[in-house]
Amino acid sequence: MDPTTANMSLVVFGVLFLALGSGVWVGFALFMVGLVGMELFSSLPAGYNMASSVWATVGKWEYVALPLFILMGEILYRSGISEKLFKALVPWLYRLPGGLLLMNILSCTLFAAVSGSSAATTATVGRITLAEFDKLGYDRRLAMGSLAGAGTLGFLIPPSLIMIVYAILAEVSVGKMFMAGILPGLLLSGVYVTYIVYRGLRDPSIAPRGQETYSWKDRITGLKDLLPTLALILMVLGSIYAGVATPTEAAALGVFGAAVFAAIERSMTPRVAFECLVGAVKTNAMIMLIVVGAGFLSRVMGFLGIPAAITQAILELNLSPYALMVLLGAVYVVLGCLLDGFSIVVMTLPIALPMVTAAGFDPIWFGIYLILMVEVSQITPPVGFNLFVIQGLTGEPITRIARYAFPFFLLMLLTTVILTAFPEIALYLPRLMVNK
């Protein structure tokens, strides 16, 4: 890297970290850094480029799916449909090793398949399970740790909001990204379940068994409470996989289906509908502010030649493909301590994607790898969103929750290693897709 580009890079990243450290909203910080970079190092008009960059970003039709999936998750959460997951699964899990701690994993897996959000998944399941675990005398550390880890499945299991953002920025099929997340998501969920069962076999006291008994009739009858969630999964993912709907159209189907189920349950009051809309607007505005800010910063860095210079500098190290992924993984773990997941994706993609494709990796596979790294950031202090959500539910200090979540941090890294060693886990289903 030549001295001029190196100096520009130091100034841009220095201003970025100062802005983030000052507590400025991430989206505004990204705009600020882009403006500083253009004013100091380019003769191009900063205002015009900022406006055209924002318009080019928000004008993409694929982003319409984002608020729709958010709204679907809001309806499921606020209408009480998600609580039925707990009641339906209790009879099946109560007597297994680890007991209802498995509820955190399975409930998050199912809710992730209709919410698309890690924070929403964690909050929804946590409101249902944590208080119940306290009443039953379950191990509090494992209860919070498993919730923190399993809540991240909201990013990996489709329909995932962050997958939509990645697919648009990387110019790959959203539908293929959704398909690529299914098997890795189930793999990570299975790794979590295996760990909970192992802990339950070693120390049954982590999940005390009560006196309740459930017959097979109770188990079968309770399955009807799973029907709304399973129907929505089939409606959304099935329509995409069969090629009869685009991800945006499938998102609209999901909203319609969630509203119908909420109406059937008589929980969709005018007040609930208003709260769903307000919650969806707030969440979407937060995400899109980050996306458009990062889009502008990415354009500025492209003008300045920073991504190309960094890519060339790393390529000149002559790292093997797997050594490159280890290096990127270490970088993402560090970034996860400072930034939220959406910021990590949109800020690093212009630099990382050319490197990994040059090393021979599939961009869809890299999307899943990157999302796993983003999941790690959800449970690393001081900016782990899932940690904040659980702190709000329990009042426990962030550092303590992070310590409880550490085993699941290691399990995520293990899953990433497995995915890197066996990339077909992510690529098998996308290759079967009818809709290209």
Question: Residue 423 — pLDDT band, cuts 50, 70, 90?
Answer: very high
Q: Is residue 103 scored above 80 in pLDDT? A: yes
Q: What is the C-alpha separation between 159 and 219, in angstroms, rounded? A: 28
Q: Is residue 175 scored above 70 in pLDDT? A: yes
3-state helix, strand, coil in the chain (%, to 5): 80, 0, 20
pLDDT at residue 365, as a whole number = 96
Q: What is the C-alpha separation between 163 and 72, in angstroms, rounded? A: 16
- Sign, CA dihedral 380-342-311-415, equals positive
Give ∠ CA 92-114-388 in degrees, rounded to 5.
90
Q: Is residue 330 scored above 80 in pLDDT? A: yes
Out of 17-21, 163-167, 283-287, 388-392, least confident range: 17-21
pLDDT at residue 338, as a whole number = 62
Out of 27-31, 37-41, 198-202, 340-344, least confident range: 340-344
pLDDT at residue 44, as a whole number = 80
pLDDT at residue 428, as a whole number = 93
Question: Residue 208 — pLDDT band, cuts 50, 70, 90?
Answer: confident
Q: Is residue 266 scored above 70 in pLDDT? A: yes
Q: What is the C-alpha separation between 283 and 259, in angstroms, rounded? A: 19
pLDDT at residue 361, as a whole number = 93
State the average pLDDT over residues 50-56: 84
Q: How long, in residues, is the chain?
A: 436
State the average pLDDT over residues 65-70: 79
Question: Residue 433 — pLDDT band, cuts 50, 70, 90?
Answer: low
Structure letter (DSSP) for residue 39? H
Burial pattern 6-21, b for ≥16 Cβ within 10 A else e, equals eebbebbeebbeebbe
Burial pattern 150-189, b for ≥16 Cβ within 10 A else e, equals bbbbbbbbbbbbbbbbbbbbbebbbbbbbbbbbbbbebbb
**Which percentage of the chain shows pLDDT scores above 90?**
19
pLDDT at residue 418, as a whole number = 95
State the average pLDDT over residues 164-172: 89
Condensed to tens digits (0 to 9), the pLDDT of residues 147-161 reads 999 988 888 988 787
User: Distance between alpha carbon 402 and the CA centroid of its chain, in Å?
Assistant: 18
User: Encoding tokens for residue 317?
Assistant: 């190290």
Q: Is residue 85 scored above 90 in pLDDT? A: no
Q: What is the C-alpha separation between 103 and 124, in angstroms, rounded? A: 13
Q: Is residue 371 scored above 60 in pLDDT? A: yes
Compute CA distances 404 → 142, 282, 372, 401, whole Å.
7, 30, 19, 5
CA dihedral 56, 289, 120, 381 (to 10 degrees): 120
Among 8-12, 188-192, 298-302, top mean pLDDT goes to 188-192
Question: Residue 297 — pLDDT band, cuts 50, 70, 90?
Answer: confident
Question: Residue 47 — pLDDT band, cuts 50, 70, 90?
Answer: confident
Q: Is residue 370 scored above 80 in pLDDT? A: yes
pLDDT at residue 404, as a whole number = 93
Q: Which amino acid is at 46?
A: A
Q: Is residue 436 scored above 60 in pLDDT? A: no
The structure tokens 């993984």 sit at: 329
Averaged pLDDT score across all residues of the chain: 82
State the average pLDDT over residues 320-324: 89
Burial pattern 35-70, b for ≥16 Cβ within 10 A else e, equals bbbbeebeeeebeebbeebbeebeeeeebebbbbbb
Out of 98-112, 177-191, 331-345, least confident range: 331-345
User: Containing H/E element for 100?
Assistant: none
| Backbone torsions φ then ψ of 255, nearest 5 degrees | -60, -45
Question: Residue 435 — pLDDT band, cuts 50, 70, 90?
Answer: very low
State the average pLDDT over residues 82-97: 76
Contact by Cβ (8 Å): 111, 154: yes
Out of 32-41, 201-210, 248-257, 286-295, least confident range: 286-295
Q: Is residue 319 scored above 50 in pLDDT? A: yes
Residues 6+ apart with CB under 8 A from 72: 114, 115, 116, 232, 251, 254, 255, 257, 258
Q: Is residue 86 scored above 90 in pLDDT? A: no
